[in-house]
Amino acid sequence: MAKKKKVSWFWTWVIGSVVLRLILIYFPENLNLSSRPEVSTPLTSLRRLAEGYWLKQLSVSPYAGSMYHGSPLLLTLLGPLTVKRIEGQPDHLLCSLVFVIADVVSAMLICAAGGKLQVAYSSSLQLLGLRDLSENSELLPSGDFAALVYLWNPFTIVACVGLSTSAVENLMIVLSLYGACSGLAPLAAFGWVMATHLSLYPAILIIPLILLLGYGPDAPPRKLFWQRNSLEVGTSSDICSEEKAKNQLKVADVFSWRPVVSFLLWTLLWSSYILVLCSIYVQQYGGLQELFKRTYGFILTIQDLSPNIGVLWYFFAEVFDFFRNFFLIVFHGNILLMLAPLALRLNHRPCFLAFVYIVISSMLKSYPSVGDSALYLGLLGLFAYELKDMQFSFFLLSGYVGVSLLSPVMHNLWIWRGTGNANFYFATAIAYACLQIILVVESVSAMLNHDRTLTKLCAAKAPPSMVAGISSSDYQNILLNAAPFFTPLLLPLHFPPPFPDLTILSLNLSKT
């Protein structure tokens, strides 16, 4: 009964989020959100996509000029919907419905992935003998919580109502994570290839996806399983129990290569298929070379310096052209520089590693939008239990609210009223970047502290012999051999015996 009530409660909130989106879509002129620099960027603007489709209808390259720089596949999917009008209905209604569906599907995939993560993590805690923590982690269904955070996040709603294609990009990223959590290599490969094709930066997610497929979902540090299994092997007198402990040790230690190889093969297959489709589409407009130049080249060279919530537009507007290439390498290389250390430290938590990568890329990408924040804030809900002790949570919440309110005000003072300058708007962008830095640092610190807590709890459950590095069987033999000699000396000190049964046995031996 309680489970049915919980399910109905969850779907009530999901339907409520859809209704809210539909109401805002029918609001006059969509609150003019599609023209906001925080929502629409040169890569995610539906207006630019409609311009590219209009050029294609005139037998002109959709990449002519400087309007459209997105995927030709996305142009094929959404382009026809931009020219269809329903009498008496808002413009681009069909595109808005596509974005609403994309948000709902993304939320459902986050919910399903969260359920798999929670089940795997709970079973890992039970293997470590931490049943109390396992029961506490199941009180809050992290998948449901993360899905609702994603659906009701104001950033997600604004991106959807503002006709930003970031909803489709987020769907592909979530699809790849869900496929990896479920062990579905073809699905994970398809999501990763499509996400990389749409916005390039998700390419770095191949590392956590491989770790997810190889090691499985997030779990405590593997050394805890090794210690636990060695304890069970040393104390077990039953052959079956010893074999079971050894099998658990192998499972915790072995990296499964089969799903990883399957993922790489499917990645090659999907990439080839998408390249063939794109080459057919742009064959008469310059081929794949022109496509890469207008899409990936546009992202990497930061040619459009129109204001957004990032920091690169202002920096490259001020820097001398002589140093431009150097700083392009610095900013893009900074993302790559952090991949290996984080992967080595968080390899046992690949899904959380993917969250960290997404935040870092959102902070340093060329054309960020609120749709990027909507994705990583939704994924943050998957780790609500592990990050419950994260510091500065209220400060981060207040900061995001403050930046969301001040950014439109500063932009209005600069562009429309003329009472400010670019520094006004850039100040909010700096604050936004600082908030993301604090979020990354504090979330990683909280996760590492959680792992240290698990290590201490596992050490507290181990007998003193295991802490000292002596097996339990050797410890028992030492006590049995030394009992007749040392028991009379130790009794007056009233030390708590490590093994009460052995102490009684030693007393009997001393009497004889």
Higher pLDDT, 467 or 447: 447
pLDDT for the residue numbered 465: 45
pLDDT for the residue numbered 276: 94
Residue 230 has pLDDT above 90, yes or no: no
Please state which of the ranges 237-251, 299-313, 446-460 shows the lowest mean pLDDT. 237-251
pLDDT tens digit string along 12-50?
Answer: 999 999 999 999 888 756 567 888 899 989 999 999 999
- Residue 258: which residues within 8 A CB-CB, separation 6 or more? none
pLDDT tens digit string along 85-114?
Answer: 776 666 678 888 999 999 999 999 999 999
pLDDT for the residue numbered 499: 40
Q: Which among 178, 1, 163, 186 has a CA at the least distance from the CA of 95?
A: 163
- For 33-65, b where at least 16 C-beta lie within 10 A, e where not — what string? bbebbbbbbbbbbbebbbbbbbbbeeeebbbee
Please state which of the ranges 59-73, 100-114, 209-223, 488-502 shows the lowest mean pLDDT. 488-502
Task: Look at the chain and count its residues.
Answer: 512
Residue 347 has pLDDT above 70, yes or no: yes
235 vs 465: CA distance, rounded Å: 11
pLDDT tier at 466, thresholds 50, 70, 90: very low
What rounded mean pLDDT belongs to the chain?
Answer: 82
Q: Which among 302, 305, 310, 303 has a CA at the least distance from the CA of 425?
A: 310
Please state which of the ranges 178-182, 209-213, 412-416, 437-441 shows the lowest mean pLDDT. 412-416
Q: How many degrees, rounded to 5, is the angle at CA 355 between CA 180 and CA 432?
A: 155
- Sequence-ordered alpha helix ranges (H) in 200-256: 206-215, 222-235, 239-253
- Residue 429: which residues within 8 A CB-CB, separation 6 or more? 308, 309, 310, 311, 314, 407
Mean pLDDT of 228-238: 52
DSSP state of 60: S
449 touches 390 (CB < 8 A): no
pLDDT for the residue numbered 83: 81
CA dihedral sign of residues 363, 365, 369, 372: negative
Higher pLDDT, 471 or 226: 226
% of the chain beyond a pLDDT of 70 = 78
pLDDT tens digit string along 261-320?
Answer: 999 999 999 999 999 999 998 888 888 888 999 999 999 999 899 999 999 999 999 888
Mean pLDDT of 474-479: 46
Summary count for the chain: helices (H), strands (E)? 25, 0
79 vs 483: CA distance, rounded Å: 85
- For 466-490, b where at least 16 C-beta lie within 10 A, e where not — what string? beeeeebeebbeebeeebeeebeee
Q: Which amino acid is at 87?
A: E
pLDDT for the residue numbered 469: 45
435 vs 446: CA distance, rounded Å: 16
Residue 138's Cβ-side half-sphere holds a number of Cα atoms within 13 Å equal to 15
What residues does each domain of the chain span? 7-461, 464-511
Mean pLDDT of 194-216: 94
Mean pLDDT of 333-342: 93
Q: What is the pTM of this model?
A: 0.85
